[in-house]
Amino acid sequence: MKNFERNGNEYKMTPQLGTYIPMLGIFITIGLVSFIKFPESILKWWMLGIVVILMISLLRAYFIIDMDRREMRVRKGLLGKEVTIPLESLQGFSIHKLQQYGFITVNVSLIARYKNENGKEKKAQLAQAYFTKTINRIINDIDEIIAEDHNR
């Protein structure tokens, strides 16, 4: 398991920096160029604000599989709330791929489908990356964690 850190019977996904690092790099570069080339412009403050928001979003996000409670907990984004998914109500996973011009992949998301306590089907984003191979590795790790628990 490359994508999860084990702490007892709790597995926490390591931060997915692949989507944040390029965005942070672009906004920091634009901010630095603005400070140097256009010192009177407010663009530099906008870029600094975006960098701070991205950092807060990165620090707030998590995905935990708790095998003692038999649930997954996930929170994504800046204002996202925690979603708890009992493993018994998990219906499966799907991969959503966003492409530009029909061939340039700009985002791949791992979505969990589950039923809430009222029986309604819900979806929650668990991870995102630029490549499908990364998402497939995460799915394999999740399957390994859940299968390992069934073998006990």
**140 belongs to a structural domain:** yes
**0.85 surpassed by pTM:** no
In this predicted structure, what is the pLDDT of residue 53? Answer: 92
pLDDT of 104 above 90: no
pLDDT of 151 above 60: no
**125 belongs to a structural domain:** yes
Between the CA of residue 112 and those of 4, 59, 74, 146, what are the distances in Å? 17, 22, 10, 14
Report how many domains make up the chain: 1
**144 belongs to a structural domain:** yes
* 67, 145 contact by CB (below 8 A): yes
**32 belongs to a structural domain:** no
Q: Dump pLDDT digits (tens) for 32-68.
A: 999 899 888 898 899 999 999 999 988 899 999 999 9
CA–chain centroid gap for 89, Å, is 21
Strands (E) across 52-118 are located at 62-66, 71-75, 83-86, 90-100, 104-115
Write out the DSSP string of 101-144: TTTEEEEEEEEEEEE-TTS-EEEEEEEEESSHHHHHHHHHHHHH
Question: By three-state DSSP, how is residue 82 classified?
Answer: coil
Residue 19 pLDDT grade (very low, low, confident, very high; cuts 50, 70, 90): confident
**27 belongs to a structural domain:** no
**42 belongs to a structural domain:** no
pLDDT of 16 above 90: no
Provide the residue range defining the domain that includes 72: 4-16+61-150
Phi, psi torsion values for 50, nearest 5 degrees = -65, -40
**24 belongs to a structural domain:** no
Q: Would you say how long the chain is, in residues?
A: 152
* 4, 11 contact by CB (below 8 A): yes
